[in-house]
Amino acid sequence: MLDFLQQVPLVLASASKNRQKLLQNCGLQFSIRPSNIDESHIKKHYKGHSFSDLAMLLAKSKAMSVSQELPNDVIIAADQLCVLDNQYFDKPIAHAIAKQQLEQLSGKSHQLLTAVCLVKNNQILWQHLVCTIMTMHCLKPSTIENYLHIEQPYHSCGSYHYEGLGKWLFKEIHHGDESTIIGLPLLALLNALQALNIVSIR
């Protein structure tokens, strides 16, 4: 892509394979430096009332953490929260929790909040948040068990992999595209990278 894109050094503050693949497919060159922030500590001590603000706080905290180590690079960081009935779901980790989450989401509409930001030298260059409304089918208990057994989405927000078989769980999606759902609002990010002269097209 050297004859098409010109860019400054980029760092993705995430170990997410989905986010890495999204950026790679756009021809971007970047290094990977997952942040070491304690997300559970931030969530536990969050004093605000907006889940959107919490999602953005988590994304910014990740970016700032990595920016302290690499002040000359542009840091890309993102975070997601799955929100239903004024509560958010953490990554399930365990099968029983994932099952419980899908049982709660079944037949209902929930919000998937996707926050992303760009930071350089501890300065926020850009931030963006998308609230995607996702409506699940009414899922049979056997469907939930079969799905979890096959995809094991225990480290995914909402206990589903939308990039895979998770699409079959949903009836309707509003206010978000696939890239946003699986980790990054890609078009908004690419537009910001160009507008800030971080990446240019030759």
Active site residues: 79
Spatial CB neighbours of 153, under 8 Å, sequence gap ≥ 6: 92, 98, 159, 160, 161, 166
The CA-CA-CA angle for residues 66, 161, 170, to 5°, reads: 130
Residue 37, SS3 per DSSP: coil
Give the residue among 27, 35, 20 at the shortest CA–CA distance from 163: 20
DSSP 159: S
CB 54 within 8 A of CB 43: yes
Compute φ and ψ for 97, nearest 5 degrees.
-70, -40
Give the residue among 68, 74, 80 at the shortest CA–CA distance from 35: 68
Element (H, E) at 127: strand 123-136
